[in-house]
């Protein structure tokens, strides 16, 4: 079955058609036009590709309602719209992508695939915040986790590759998160109620003391919107090094520039600690996987992370690590934990979810 995969981001609509063996038959990103995506532009792109037999949409948030790929029928879109307050930046884009593609391909079956779904297997102790029960019951204040489509693909690829049952996947890109995957089930992750929790990212702070946020509002007089904007768009690597591009950070760190040395140090410190925490949640570690733009492309990051994790059995061969292209194993000889670089393929995960739903009726 040929599947059109639709990934609606903050500024672009990524379209790709995958064939029966998940080969890419066409791929392109469309930019926003006057704040929306053009149906005519989508039509023009699809006209040059093999006709899709089904459509798979990446949807960031499924809440606790949607725990597996779901066909877009019978009021599903409206229920997704009701989840917008949980993902006010991402959900409207996904809904807009669904709308424009349905206009272009009326009658073609559509399936929503959720980034949160992979994390619905979190044990209660890992998913629960120690906050008032009313918050948890009334507003669904739990740890949802994100990047689930990437973590699902990378962890499955790792298990096929090594046979190891205890896998930590590191999805490192503009956004970054880890998942602890035990026997194919996610048992812990670093992102929480929002994608702001956890690791240092390109422009996001990652976890900060909640007391700091309160202090900035109550004592420093900053508005809630200003604090939110700063934590999401003006923090992370950008705040520390003046750039959100890890390639530039690594280059400048190599020249000894103080801000880049600090930025990479903070990034790696948080990442190492989180990998160890994920391993602890599984009682050990068999395989560590790096994926995403930074995970695949920044050998220096992989080297520094591994250098601090020898106590759990991680070690990389620096020569192999520096030379890996695309996918590869970078484990040091004799290391107890196998370390892999895996291409991020959310498109494959989405296409597989679509085929599974439609094959089941």
The pLDDT value given to residue 31: 87
Token couple for 40? 């005519």
**Looking at the structure, do residues 95 and 171 belong to the same domain, yes or no?**
no
Classify residue 328: in a domain, yes or no.
yes
CATH number of the domain enclosing 63: 3.30.420.40
Closest by CA position to 276, among listed 246, 318, 305:
305
**Looking at the structure, do residues 65 and 179 belong to the same domain, yes or no?**
no
Classify residue 316: in a domain, yes or no.
yes
pTM for the full predicted model: 0.95
Residues 81, 211: Cα–Cα separation, whole Å: 32
Q: From 65, 91, 114, give the residue that closes a domain.
A: 114
Residue 61 near residue 116, CB atoms below 8 Å: yes
Does 71 or 325 have the greater pLDDT score? Answer: 71
Burial (CB < 10 A; 0-12, 13-18, 19+), residue 53, is middle
Task: Give me the residues paired with residue 12 across strands.
Answer: 31
Residues 316, 311: Cα–Cα separation, whole Å: 13
Tell me the percentage of the chain whose pLDDT exceeds 90: 93
Measured from the Cβ of residue 164, the count of other Cβ atoms closer than 10 Å reads 17
Task: Give 144-179 pLDDT, tens digit per residue.
Answer: 999 999 999 999 999 999 999 999 999 999 999 999
**Looking at the structure, do residues 248 and 156 belong to the same domain, yes or no?**
yes
Residues 164, 282: Cα–Cα separation, whole Å: 12
Residue 80 near residue 59, CB atoms below 8 Å: yes
**Looking at the structure, do residues 217 and 295 belong to the same domain, yes or no?**
yes
DSSP 332: P
Residues 9, 150: Cα–Cα separation, whole Å: 15
Whether 115 is a known active-site residue: answer: yes
Positive or negative, the Cα torsion across 224, 227, 229, 232?
negative
Which domain range does residue 105 map to? 3-114
Classify residue 63: in a domain, yes or no.
yes
**Looking at the structure, do residues 154 and 110 belong to the same domain, yes or no?**
no
Cα distances (angstroms) measured from residue 130 to each of 133, 145, 191, 210, 352 = 9, 17, 16, 13, 36
The pLDDT value given to residue 88: 86
Task: HSE, CB side, 13 Å, CA atoms: give it for residue 15.
Answer: 28
Query: Strand, helix or coil at 293?
Result: helix
**Looking at the structure, do residues 24 and 168 belong to the same domain, yes or no?**
no
Task: Give 8-28 pLDDT, tens digit per residue.
Answer: 987 789 999 999 999 999 999
Across 70-74, average pLDDT: 95
Across 248-274, average pLDDT: 98
The pLDDT value given to residue 87: 86
Q: Which of 22, 115, 209, 286 is catalytic?
A: 115
**Residue entry with tokens 């044990």:** 123
- Has residue 239 got a pLDDT over 70? yes
The pLDDT value given to residue 33: 80
Task: HSE, CB side, 13 Å, CA atoms: give it for residue 258.
Answer: 0
**Looking at the structure, do residues 253 and 161 belong to the same domain, yes or no?**
yes
Classify residue 83: in a domain, yes or no.
yes
- Has residue 361 got a pLDDT over 60? no
**Looking at the structure, do residues 109 and 197 belong to the same domain, yes or no?**
no
**Residue entry with tokens 């790792």:** 158
Task: HSE, CB side, 13 Å, CA atoms: give it for residue 157.
Answer: 24
The pLDDT value given to residue 287: 98
**Looking at the structure, do residues 207 and 331 belong to the same domain, yes or no?**
yes
Across 203-211, average pLDDT: 97
Classify residue 34: in a domain, yes or no.
yes
**Looking at the structure, do residues 280 and 188 belong to the same domain, yes or no?**
yes
- Has residue 326 got a pLDDT over 90? no
Classify residue 92: in a domain, yes or no.
yes
**Looking at the structure, do residues 90 and 161 belong to the same domain, yes or no?**
no
Task: Give 119-149 pLDDT, tens digit per residue.
Answer: 999 999 999 999 999 999 999 999 999 999 9
Classify residue 272: in a domain, yes or no.
yes
**Looking at the structure, do residues 178 and 326 belong to the same domain, yes or no?**
yes
Closest by CA position to 341, among listed 359, 323, 361, 360:
323
Classify residue 161: in a domain, yes or no.
yes
Burial (CB < 10 A; 0-12, 13-18, 19+), residue 209, is exposed
How many independent structural domains does the chain possess?
Answer: 2
| DSSP element (H, E) containing 188 | strand 185-189
The rounded mean pLDDT for the chain is: 96
The pLDDT value given to residue 12: 85
The pLDDT value given to residue 36: 81
């Amino acid at each position: 079955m040929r599947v059109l995969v639709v990934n609606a981001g903050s500024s672009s609509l990524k379209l790709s058609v995958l064939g029966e063996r998940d080969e890419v038959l066409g791929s392109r990103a469309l930019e926003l036009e006057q704040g929306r995506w053009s149906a005519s532009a989508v039509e023009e792109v699809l006209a040059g590709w093999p006709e899709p037999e089904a459509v798979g949409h990446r949807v960031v948030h499924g809440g606790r309602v949607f725990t597996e790929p779901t066909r877009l029928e019978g009021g599903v879109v409206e229920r997704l719209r009701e989840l917008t307050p949980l993902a006010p930046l991402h959900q409207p884009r996904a809904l807009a992508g669904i709308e424009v593609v349905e206009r272009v391909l009326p009658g073609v079956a559509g399936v929503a695939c959720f980034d949160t779904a992979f994390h619905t297997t979190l044990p209660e102790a890992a998913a629960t915040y120690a906050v008032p029960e009313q918050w948890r019951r009334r507003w669904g204040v739990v740890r949802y986790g994100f990047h689930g489509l990437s973590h699902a693909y990378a962890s499955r690829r790792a298990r096929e590759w090594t046979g190891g049952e205890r896998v930590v996947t590191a999805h490192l890109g503009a956004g970054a998160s880890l998942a602890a995957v035990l026997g194919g089930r996610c048992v812990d992750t670093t992102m929480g109620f929002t994608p702001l929790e956890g690791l240092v990212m390109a422009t996001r702070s990652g976890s900060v003391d909640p007391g700091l946020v309160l202090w900035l509002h109550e004592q420093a007089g900053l508005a809630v919107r200003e604090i939110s904007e700063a934590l999401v768009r003006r923090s992370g690597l950008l705040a520390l090094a003046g750039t959100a591009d890890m390639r530039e950070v690594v280059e400048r760190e190599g020249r000894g520039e103080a801000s880049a040395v600090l930025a990479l140090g903070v990034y790696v410190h948080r990442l190492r600690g989180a990998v160890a925490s994920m391993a602890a949640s599984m009682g050990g570690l068999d395989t560590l996987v790096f994926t995403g733009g930074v995970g695949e492309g920044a050998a220096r990051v992989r080297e520094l992370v591994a250098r601090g994790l020898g106590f759990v059995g991680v070690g990389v061969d620096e020569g192999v690590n520096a030379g890996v292209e695309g996918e590869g194993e970078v484990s040091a000889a004799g290391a107890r934990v196998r370390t892999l670089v895996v291409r991020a393929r959310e498109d494959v995960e989405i296409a597989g979810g679509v085929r599974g739903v439609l094959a089941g009726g």
